[in-house]
C-alpha cells in the first residue's frame, strides 16, 4: 500500500500544466489548486520551437522532432506524480507558425488531451493574472518576455487595464535582427514606441516576467553580491542597473561576474532581454524593476480559483500551510496571532497594513523549527523562511519573518544573526522583529507551545504606570523565574514597565 508522506497537505489533488512556449517547453505538477501554489515537480526542455520562425514561417523542424519524446515523458511524469488533471497551453510560436496546427495535432495525440492555444490577448491576460496573484496590491506595468512575443499589461490591484502584444520575444528579435545587437535595439525601440500604455507607468513598478529576464536578474544578483538567492520580488534599482544592462546589451557577458550561474543555453538571449528592458525603461521611466517568478501558468491556475479563494492573502495562506505541516499546534499559532495583536495594542504600538500581515505570517511560522536541535532551530528556521517560495511579500518583508524566528530561538540580543540578510531587512523591521520575538519568548514559556492558555492571559494597566501580564489564578503554577526574566527582556526592548502577575 502506498501512503502519502505527512509532509504533504492531505486535502490537495495534484494537477499538471504543460506550457509550450517559443523557446522552452515546461511541465509543472502542482500540489493542488491553491492561493499560493506549491510545486511538486518541475521540468523543462529548451526546445527552441520558435527559432527561425521569422524567416521560414514555421516551427523549427529539429525542435519539433526533439520535443515529441519529451511530451511522452511529460505525460508519464504527470501520471506518475498522481495528477488527476493535465492542462496544456501553447503560446506565440504554436499559434503563428504555418505548421503549428499539425504540430499541435501531433502533441495532442501524444498527451491524450486537448491543447489550448492562447491568443495574444489571452497570453497577456494570464500573465497579468500571474503578477496580480504574486504581488500584494500590484500597481504597475507587467511585461512577459517569451521566446516569440512580449506582452505588456497595466495592472492595479485586481484590475487589468490596457495591454499590447509585441513581436519582441528573444528568439524572434534575434532572428529579425540577424544576430545584430544594434539592429535589435532599433527594432525594439520602434516596437516599444507602439506601447502607449507605458506612459501611464511612469513612477510605478515594472514587473518583469519570463525566463530571459529572470536569468538577467540572476546575473545582476551575482554581479552585485546580493545575499538572498530568491528570484521572486527581487528588485533592480533603475539608475544602478542601467550600466549593467547596457553592458549585457552589447553582448559583453562572458566575463561578467557570476555568468557561470546562468545556463549556456540561456546566455545567448540575455543581450536581447537587456535591449528590450532598456527600451522599456526609457519609454516608461518606472520606479523600479520587480522580478516575478510567476507568469502565464500561475495566472491560468489563479483563474481556476473561486472569487473567495482569490481574495485570500497568499502569504498568510502559505504560512498557515507550513504551520499545518511543521508546527506542534496550528491552533497555538493562531492564538499567537491574536495575542501579539492585543499586546501591541496594550503597548500603544500601531501597525501598518503590511506590518500586520507580516506579524500574522510570522506568528504562524513561529514554531516550524521545533524538531531541529535547539542550537540550530533559529538558523534552520531562518534559512527555511528566507528562501521559501512565498509570494505576496517583498525581500525586506520575508527577512523580517525569518529574523522573528531567529531571534525567538537564538536570543533577541544576538547581533551575530545573519548580518548580511539583516541589512536587507532594514533597521525598522529588525527592531520590530526583536519586539515580536521577545513577546513570543515570554508566551511560549507560559504555554508549553500548546493551545488554551494564551486566550486567558490579559494585559492590565496598574496605577503606578506598570503594565501587568496577568495569569489567571487557576494557572498560577505557570508563574516562574524564567518567564519573569523573559518579560524583563521584553520590557527592555519595548521601553515599557512590565510585570508578571497572578490574578
Q: Is the pLDDT of residue 125 over 60?
A: yes
Please check whether residue 244 is in contact with residue 404, taking contact to mean a CB–CB distance below 8 angstroms: no
Q: Is the pLDDT of residue 274 over 70?
A: yes
Note the pLDDT tens digit of each residue in 395-423. 999 999 999 999 999 999 998 999 999 99
Q: What is the pLDDT of residue 296?
A: 95
User: According to the CATH classification, is domain 15-117 in 3.30.420.40?
Assistant: yes
Phi then psi for 87, rounded to 5 degrees?
A: -105, 135
High-pLDDT (> 70) share of the chain, %: 99
- 76 vs 4: which has the higher pLDDT: 76
3-state secondary structure of 460: strand
Q: Is the pLDDT of residue 8 over 90?
A: no
**Confidence at 247, pLDDT banded by 50, 70, 90:** very high
d(CA 460, CA 195): 60
Question: In the block, which residue shows the cell 511538486?
Answer: 40
The three three-digit cell numbers of residue 212, written as one number: 530571459
Of the candidates 451, 240, 491, the one whose C-alpha atom is nearest the C-alpha of residue 336 is 451
Over residues 378-388, mean pLDDT: 96
Strand 206-209 relative to strand 235-236, pairing: unpaired
Domain with CATH 3.30.420.150 in the chain: 121-298
How large is the greatest C-alpha to C-alpha distance in the chain, in angstroms?
85
Over residues 362-377, mean pLDDT: 96
Please check whether residue 343 is in contact with residue 487, taking contact to mean a CB–CB distance below 8 angstroms: no
d(CA 330, CA 185): 54
**Confidence at 258, pLDDT banded by 50, 70, 90:** confident
Q: Is the pLDDT of residue 5 over 80?
A: no
Q: What is the pLDDT of residue 252?
A: 83
d(CA 142, CA 209): 7
Please check whether residue 274 is in contact with residue 243, taking contact to mean a CB–CB distance below 8 angstroms: no
Please check whether residue 407 is in contact with residue 417, taking contact to mean a CB–CB distance below 8 angstroms: yes
DSSP structure class, residue 368: T
Helix (H) or strand (E) holding 502: strand 498-502
Domain with CATH 1.10.3210.10 in the chain: 314-502
Q: Is the pLDDT of residue 485 over 70?
A: yes
Q: Is the pLDDT of residue 200 over 70?
A: yes
d(CA 58, CA 93): 8
Domain with CATH 3.30.420.40 in the chain: 15-117
CATH classification (class only), 121-298: alpha beta
d(CA 53, CA 64): 13
d(CA 408, CA 372): 14
Q: What is the pLDDT of residue 265?
A: 77
d(CA 384, CA 378): 10
Note the pLDDT tens digit of each residue in 17-66. 999 999 899 999 999 999 999 999 999 999 999 999 988 999 999 999 99
Q: Which residues contact 119 (CB under 8 A, 6 or more apart)?
A: 95
Domain 314-502: which topology? Answer: Hypothetical protein af1432 (1.10.3210)
**Confidence at 3, pLDDT banded by 50, 70, 90:** low
Average pLDDT over all residues of the chain: 95
Of the candidates 88, 91, 77, the one whose C-alpha atom is nearest the C-alpha of residue 18 is 88
Over residues 186-213, mean pLDDT: 97
Note the pLDDT tens digit of each residue in 431-469. 999 999 999 999 999 999 999 999 999 999 998 889 999
d(CA 119, CA 499): 65
Q: What is the pLDDT of residue 4?
A: 61
Helix (H) or strand (E) holding 235: strand 235-236
Please check whether residue 368 is in contact with residue 289, taking contact to mean a CB–CB distance below 8 angstroms: no
The three three-digit cell numbers of residue 464, written as one number: 503606578
Note the pLDDT tens digit of each residue in 217-244. 999 999 999 999 999 999 999 999 999 9
Q: What is the pLDDT of residue 472?
A: 97
Note the pLDDT tens digit of each residue in 306-349. 999 999 999 999 999 999 999 999 999 999 999 999 999 999 99
Q: Which residues contact 308 (CB under 8 A, 6 or more apart)?
A: none
d(CA 71, CA 94): 15
DSSP result, 122-158: HHHHHHHHHHHHHSTT-EEEEEEE-SS-EEEEEEETT
The three three-digit cell numbers of residue 419, written as one number: 548580518
Amino acid at each position: 500500500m502506498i501512503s502519502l508522506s505527512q509532509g504533504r497537505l492531505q486535502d490537495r489533488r495534484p494537477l499538471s500544466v504543460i506550457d509550450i512556449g517559443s523557446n522552452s517547453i515546461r511541465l509543472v505538477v502542482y500540489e493542488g489548486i491553491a492561493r499560493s501554489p506549491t510545486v511538486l515537480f518541475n521540468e523543462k526542455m529548451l526546445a527552441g520551437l520558435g527559432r527561425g520562425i521569422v524567416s521560414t514561417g514555421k516551427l523549427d523542424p529539429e525542435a519539433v522532432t526533439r520535443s515529441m519524446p519529451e511530451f511522452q515523458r511529460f505525460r508519464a511524469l504527470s501520471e506518475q506524480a498522481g495528477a488527476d488533471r493535465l492542462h496544456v497551453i501553447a503560446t506565440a510560436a504554436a499559434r503563428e507558425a504555418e505548421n503549428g496546427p499539425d504540430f499541435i495535432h501531433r502533441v495532442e495525440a501524444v498527451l491524450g488531451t486537448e491543447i489550448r492555444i492562447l491568443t495574444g490577448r489571452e497570453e497577456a491576460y494570464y500573465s497579468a493574472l500571474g503578477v496580480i496573484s504574486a504581488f500584494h496590491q500590484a500597481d504597475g506595468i507587467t511585461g512577459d518576455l517569451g521566446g516569440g512575443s512580449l506582452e505588456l499589461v497595466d495592472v492595479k490591484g485586481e484590475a487589468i487595464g490596457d495591454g499590447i502584444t509585441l513581436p519582441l520575444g528573444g528568439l524572434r528579435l534575434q532572428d529579425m535582427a540577424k544576430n545584430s545587437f544594434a539592429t535589435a535595439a532599433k527594432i525594439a525601440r520602434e516596437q516599444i514606441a507602439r506601447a502607449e500604455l507605458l506612459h501611464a507607468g511612469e513612477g510605478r513598478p515594472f514587473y518583469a516576467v519570463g525566463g530571459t529576464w529572470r536569468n538577467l536578474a540572476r546575473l545582476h544578483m551575482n554581479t552585485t553580491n546580493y545575499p538572498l538567492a530568491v528570484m521572486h520580488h527581487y528588485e533592480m534599482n533603475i539608475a544602478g542597473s542601467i550600466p549593467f544592462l547596457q553592458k549585457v546589451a552589447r553582448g559583453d557577458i562572458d566575463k561578467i561576474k557570476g555568468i557561470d550561474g546562468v545556463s549556456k543555453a540561456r546566455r545567448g538571449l540575455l543581450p536581447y532581454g537587456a535591449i528590450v528592458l532598456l527600451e522599456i525603461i526609457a519609454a516608461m521611466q518606472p520606479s523600479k524593476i520587480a522580478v516575478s517568478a510567476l507568469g502565464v501558468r500561475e495566472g491560468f491556475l489563479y483563474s481556476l480559483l473561486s472569487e473567495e479563494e482569490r481574495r485570500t492573502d497568499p502569504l498568510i495562506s502559505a504560512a498557515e500551510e507550513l504551520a499545518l505541516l511543521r508546527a506542534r499546534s496550528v491552533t497555538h499559532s493562531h492564538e499567537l496571532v491574536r495575542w501579539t495583536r492585543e499586546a501591541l495594542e496594550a503597548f500603544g504600538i500601531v501597525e501598518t497594513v503590511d506590518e500586520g500581515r507580516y506579524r500574522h505570517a510570522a506568528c504562524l511560522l513561529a514554531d516550524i523549527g521545533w524538531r531541529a536541535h535547539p542550537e540550530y532551530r533559529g538558523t534552520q528556521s531562518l534559512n527555511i523562511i528566507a528562501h521559501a517560495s512565498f509570494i505576496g511579500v517583498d525581500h525586506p518583508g520575508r527577512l523580517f519573518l525569518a529574523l522573528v524566528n531567529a531571534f525567538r530561538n537564538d536570543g533577541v540580543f544576538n547581533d551575530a544573526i545573519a548580518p548580511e540578510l539583516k541589512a536587507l531587512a532594514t533597521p525598522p523591521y529588525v527592531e520590530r522583529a526583536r519586539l515580536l520575538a521577545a513577546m513570543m519568548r515570554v508566551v511560549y514559556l507560559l504555554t508549553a507551545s500548546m493551545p488554551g492558555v494564551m486566550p486567558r492571559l490579559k494585559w492590565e494597566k496598574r496605577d503606578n504606570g506598570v503594565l501587568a501580564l496577568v495569569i489567571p489564578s487557576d494557572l498560577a503554577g505557570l508563574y516562574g523565574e524564567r518567564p519573569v526574566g523573559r518579560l524583563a527582556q521584553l520590557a527592555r526592548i519595548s521601553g515599557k514597565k512590565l510585570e508578571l502577575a497572578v490574578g
